[in-house]
A and B are shown apart, each in its own frame.
Chain A
Amino acid sequence: MTAELYFEDVEVGTEIGPMIKHPDLRHLVMWAGASGDFNPLHYSNEFAQSKGFPGIIVHGQLAACFLGQLMTDWKGGNGVLKKLTCRYRGVNFPNEDLICQGEVINKYIDHAEHYVECNIWIEQRQEKTVTGTALITLPSRG
């Protein structure tokens, strides 16, 4: 987790992460309980296979929350997450690494607020399974 991050500390191309998540079935059960998403795709191999998947898959919303954590860990205690978007390109499987990363693509000042725009994504099995964007504001040293 970043102790404190300032607008002047980042540039276009600055890398974010990687943050590695390795959810197992227990984590998916915890997420089901926390989120209310009890779709059997996320706890039953038989059901997931009946729907054409090789096995249990990770909840899409859980993957989105991993990317949210990537940004909130990086921005520090005085940064503010303004916007987060995710698109699901493929499924993620439990018991394997989900590599969460990002990259700064733009920074600008608007109405005295210091904005940093980022691309974010999750990779598993060398493929991008979730892609998205994040917009944060950061404090400035002035």
Chain B
Amino acid sequence: MKKEELKDRIDVASEPMTCEIERGMLKRFVQAIGDDNPLWQDEVYAGKTKYGGTVVPPTFLIIIGNEQFHSYTSEIFASFPNNLNGGTELEFYQPVRPGDKLILTTKLTDVYERDIKVGRATFAIFETSFQNKKEGLTAIYRQTAIFY
């Protein structure tokens, strides 16, 4: 793929993928970070908060989105092996709870060029949306890739 062809991919969405928020995956996530906030695992504590029960750490959605992101971008990253992580942005609209089923869709939303230290680079913004059937839009995860 050439850089000029990247723009043709803008707004071409992946197939939606359904993910169940699974307790084992959540446990491995909080253990890896070292986050023992009782809001994630203590129903008695969480029941007394505005959430009414345990919820997942907001950044857990990064993990959930990874599989689809890699699938959607594998051809792009293979074409541009010199790449940097340009940043991450997360917007949260609804809490997510263990057992929830979320529908994920990923798409390239923007491509532009900018000069960086090593020369002219192409910036690509990828966006993953997380939808809950009952609650609607739950979160948006944007990642910036820099190809140089």
Contact = CB atoms under 8 A, between A and B. Distances in A.
Contact of B92 (A21, A78, A80): A80
Interface in A5-63: 21, 27, 30-31, 33-37, 60-62
A105 interface: no
Nearest to B25: A34
Given A30-B31, A36-B66, A72-B58, A84 B37 contact: no
A86 B59 CA distance: 12
Interface residues on B, range: 20 to 34
Grouping DSSP codes into helix (H, G, I), strand (E, B) and loop, the B interface class, with mixed when no group exceeds half, is: mixed
A66 to B, nearest CB: 7
B48 A33 contact: no
B32 interface: yes
A1 B49 contact: no
B57 interface: yes
Interface string B56-98: 0111001100110010000000000000111111111001000
A77 B45 contact: yes
Interface string A68-108: 11001100011011111111100000000000000000000
Contacts of A36: 63, 66-67, 70
A68 B50 contact: no
A86 B88 CA distance: 5
Which among A33, A64, A68, A88 has the greatest number of chain B C-beta atoms within 10 A? A68
Interface in A110-140: 139
Contacts of A78: 49-50
Contact of B32 (A27, A64, A81, A84): A27
A84 B58 contact: yes
A85 B90 CA distance: 6
B37 A72 contact: yes
13 contacts: A36-B63, A60-B88, A61-B66, A62-B32, A68-B57, A68-B59, A69-B59, A73-B37, A77-B46, A83-B91, A84-B90, A85-B89, A87-B87
Interface of A: 1, 21, 27, 30-31, 33-37, 60-62, 64-66, 68-69, 72-73, 77-78, 80-88, 139
Given A61-B88, A69-B59, A72-B39, 17 more contacts: A1-B37, A27-B32, A30-B28, A30-B31, A35-B29, A35-B32, A64-B88, A65-B62, A68-B58, A72-B58, A77-B45, A78-B50, A80-B50, A83-B89, A85-B88, A86-B89, A139-B50
